[in-house]
Structure 1
Amino acid sequence: MTNDTLQASREWWSQRWLDLLDSYRFKKRLERARNYSRQGNVLSIEFKGAKVLARVQGSEAEPYKVSLSLDAFSDEEWGYVIETMSHKAIFAAKLLAGEMPQNMEEAFTTNGLSLFPFTLGDVHSKCSCPDKANPCKHVGAVYYQLGDRFSEDPFVLFQLRGRTKEQIISDLRKLRSAKVKATTPETSETQTPILSTQYSVKIGAFWQYHEPLESSLVVIAPSSSETVLDVLGAIPLAKAEENVVNLTSSDVVMKYLNTIYKEVSQKAVLAAMNIGAS
């Protein structure tokens, strides 16, 4: 497999990490490090907090001990980053799916931080080998292995900056839950049921414009046979166990949203007609 093919198959965040090492000017040392990584010389990699500890088999019988770390962000800095993440639903959705959003770095740069190190000097590494150069081929081999780890689990990169997957997801959920509660209006309207009381929508919340409308601007048009739901198609939900009416979870949601859509449209038309008649 060529280098171009390998790069194309890697996730962008993994390749971004490896590009930094590939910018190192001592190419022969990099080639030896790459070979060590491919040949299985990296015997183990474990994370101790935000630090990476590894054992790399070199020319000696005893494996060399390698440590690698980045500067971890403070609790306050992470608080700003996660607050920024919480403003975009796509960030939470992608991260929950184990993917790194394409513009994830914005959440860090907006707060004056960088998720990735700028130079190799920003990567703190040590090796027990006698080679005085840093990074040596043993450190380089671990660096390459981390690129593969990042591809499998992008949260590893966050861990090097001081936050685990569980902490990030938990903080995101708390913030987004608080935002939803803060923006949900209080209403005593009767809720429309959907096979289960777990799913309900307050119809009154769809039409709350209390300012007078300019009657000359009101246009009442017949409802189109094709709605936004028709254009979007079925919601890609996993199939639930079939119930008594043989409906999947996607069928149930689509049927319910169609009902809501028609009711809201009718309320809008009635409100417009009342204004126009006054």
Structure 2
Amino acid sequence: MTNTTLQASREWWSQRWLELLDSYRFKKRLERARNYARQGNVLSIEFKGAKVLAKVQGSEVEPYKVSLSLDSFSDEEWGYIIETMSKKAVFAAKLLAGEMPQNIEEVFTANGLSLFPFTLGDVHSKCSCPDKANPCKHIGAIYYQLGDRFSEDPFVLFQLRGRTKEQIISDLRQLRGEKLEVKTTKKDDGQKLINSHQSSVRIDECWQYNEPLDSSLVVITPSSNETVLDMLGAIPLGKTEDDSINLNSSDVVMKYLETLYKDVSQKAMLAAMNVGGS
């Protein structure tokens, strides 16, 4: 696979990261950095908070130590970011599906920030090698390795800005939960008055949605090998004098339900993908 083909196969957010490095004018140095990244010279990469610490094997016996970081956003800035995210369910839906929303930058620019660094100067990197140029081939190798990690987990990019996947998901859930929270207060006569942060909801309309559904909110995935039947376990049929009869009865029912489950799952997938539709 050529470098051009490899680059084209990457997700857009990984490409965006690597475009920053490709803007570096010393192409021979970048070629050596790519070779280091592909040939196993990067011995380890780990996060210490928002900073990346790595070891890269160079020409010396001892591997070189590399550090790389971006400017982290403050707690206040992250608060604004999460609040903006929570207003659009598409962001949470795609991120939870392991995909970076195409217009995710809007969340940051709306708050006067940028998720991606503008120039290589915005990336703080250091290497213990004697090469005075920055990025050296060891730092460059870490750039490329991080591009691979972004492909596997887009939340790594957020971690460079100071928030882990767990923190972001927790903050989103908490913020969305607060919007649905129902508070009770006492009136002067002692009766309880219920106040909701949202408009009143009719129970009979709870499962109705009359507006066109944004296709970007829909993530269609095939069912896994483990179904809800596996999680529920064997059916606890009534005890009989002959335990073998009880076991056989349970098996028959489970086999029947498994057949129905697979049939319904297949029809649901076909319906969701509009196969055979007009």
Once residues 172 and 205 of structure 2 are traced to their aligned partners in structure 1, the CA distance between those partners, rounded to angstroms, is 29
* Structure 1 residue identity aligned to 2:139: V
What is the CA-CA distance between 1:145 and the residue it aligns to?
0.5
Once residues 57 and 2 of structure 1 are traced to their aligned partners in structure 2, the CA distance between those partners, rounded to angstroms, is 24
What is the CA-CA distance between 1:76 and the residue it aligns to?
0.4
Unpaired segments of 5 or more residues in structure 2? 182-196, 214-219, 236-252, 265-278
Partner of 2:141: 141
Partner of 1:185: 200
What is the CA-CA distance between 1:97 and the residue it aligns to?
1.3
- Cα-Cα RMSD: 2.8
Partner of 2:161: 161
Unpaired segments of 5 or more residues in structure 1? 188-201, 208-227, 230-234, 252-278
Partner of 2:204: 203
Which of 233, 240, 243 aligns to 2:228? It is 240
Once residues 206 and 146 of structure 1 are traced to their aligned partners in structure 2, the CA distance between those partners, rounded to angstroms, is 42
Once residues 205 and 40 of structure 2 are traced to their aligned partners in structure 1, the CA distance between those partners, rounded to angstroms, is 63
Q: Determine if contact 1:237/1:250 at 8 Å carries over to the other structure.
A: no
Partner of 2:94: 94
Deviations 1:207-265 (A, max 9, x none): 9xxxxxxxxxxxxxxxxxxxx99xxxxx97955329989565997xxxxxxxxxxxxxx
What is the CA-CA distance between 1:62 and the residue it aligns to?
0.5
Q: Determine if contact 1:155/1:165 at 8 Å carries over to the other structure.
A: yes
Deviations 1:45-68 (A, max 9, x none): 000000000000001000000000
Q: Could you state the TM-score of these two structures normalised by the residue count of structure 2?
A: 0.70
| % identical equivalent positions | 78
1:171 counterpart = 2:171: yes
Once residues 237 and 141 of structure 1 are traced to their aligned partners in structure 2, the CA distance between those partners, rounded to angstroms, is 36
CA 1:70 to 1:250, structure 2 compared with 1: closer, same or farther past 3 Å?
farther
What is the CA-CA distance between 1:96 and the residue it aligns to?
1.1
Once residues 221 and 132 of structure 2 are traced to their aligned partners in structure 1, the CA distance between those partners, rounded to angstroms, is 55
1:25 counterpart = 2:25: yes
User: What secondary structure, in the 3-state scheme, does the structure 1 residue paired with 2:228 have?
Assistant: coil
What is the CA-CA distance between 1:98 and the residue it aligns to?
1.5
Number of matched residues?
Answer: 214
Q: Determine if contact 1:98/1:154 at 8 Å carries over to the other structure.
A: yes
Once residues 117 and 263 of structure 2 are traced to their aligned partners in structure 1, the CA distance between those partners, rounded to angstroms, is 43
Partner of 2:240: none
* Structure 1 residue identity aligned to 2:7: Q
Q: Determine if contact 1:84/1:107 at 8 Å carries over to the other structure.
A: yes
What is the CA-CA distance between 1:99 and the residue it aligns to?
1.2
Once residues 4 and 129 of structure 2 are traced to their aligned partners in structure 1, the CA distance between those partners, rounded to angstroms, is 32
Q: Could you state the TM-score of these two structures normalised by the residue count of structure 1?
A: 0.70
Partner of 1:108: 108
Partner of 2:245: none
1:56 counterpart = 2:67: no
Deviations 1:135-172 (A, max 9, x none): 11100011110000110011111000000000000001
Partner of 1:69: 69
